[in-house]
Chains A and B, each alone.
Chain A
Amino acid sequence: NAGVMQNPRHLVRRRGQEARLRCSPMKGHSHVYWYRQLPEEGLKFMVYLQKENIIDESGMPKERFSAEFPKEGPSILRIQQVVRGDSAAYFCASSPLGTSGVKETQYFGPGTRLLVL
């Protein structure tokens, strides 16, 4: 069973360009999460999605950032008009559909390192 897959692993963009990060969850997992990590810091929650639904986007910047998890295909984190402050590692995690009251473990992908020049 393959783990969470993310691509690209490294992405370089110039200021003002768009960045598209892709995440394929583990087989059988219906929940996807995106986190951002700055150097020497912990991960910060951005957004939680299920198929075709955004469940919690409380950690997502209000502008330029968007996420989707379509019925078919990977989840996409899209950053428009990137700025240098967007440079970070972006991690995707997935978890299965849990029963009520059970906190399911999230499994993380290898991350996409975004560098904005």
Chain B
Amino acid sequence: GESVGLHLPTLSVQEGDNSIINCAYSNSASDYFIWYKQESGKGPQFIIDIRSNMDKRQGQRVTVLLNKTVKHLSLQIAATQPGDSAVYFCAEIPKGYSSASKIIFGSGTRLSIRP
């Protein structure tokens, strides 16, 4: 069945260091992947997305890497700041769905920042 899972439920990082959050997905038919950030008491916030025809995409301080061979997705955050503390979800939209369709979320990784 479809599932998106994460290797580590929690990650503690020193402020200023880089953070790497990993995600494994099982649905090889997915063609669109998204990272969301969810702060306590708030809804998920879009961070960055990547399509299956790409292996890397960069945003402001964030980079997403996609390895389709091993069905692995990662989010890299450069120079981690206290405001980056949140739960991060990887998510996918399976291939074949229309332009607007349901998102399948993973279980999340909690990122905490040490001062």
Interface on A for B, CB 8 Å cutoff? 4, 31, 33, 35, 40-45, 48, 55-56, 58-59, 91, 93, 95, 97-111
Determine the chain A residues whose CB is within 8 A of the CB of B103 once the complex forms: 33, 35, 43, 45, 93, 106
Is there contact, CB below 8 Å, between B46 and A107? yes
Provide the bound-state CA to CA distance between A5 and B52, in Å: 32
Interface on B for A, CB 8 Å cutoff? 4, 32, 34, 36, 41-46, 49, 89, 91, 93, 97, 99-108
Asked whether A104 and B99 contact (CB < 8 A) given A43-B105, A45-B104, the answer is: yes
Is there contact, CB below 8 Å, between B89 and A42? yes
Is there contact, CB below 8 Å, between A95 and B100? yes
Q: Which of A48, A91, A103 has the most CB of B within 10 A?
A: A103
Determine the chain A residues whose CB is within 8 A of the CB of B108 once the complex forms: 40-42
Q: Output the least CB separation between A66 and chain B (Å).
A: 18
Choose from B46, B99, B102 the contact partner of A45 (Cβ within 8 Å).
B102
Provide the bound-state CA to CA distance between A101 and B42, in Å: 30
Is there contact, CB below 8 Å, between A91 and B100? no
- For A96, give the chain B residue with the smallest CB separation: B100
Q: Output the least CB separation between B58 and chain A (Å).
A: 17
Q: Output the least CB separation between A63 and chain B (Å).
A: 21
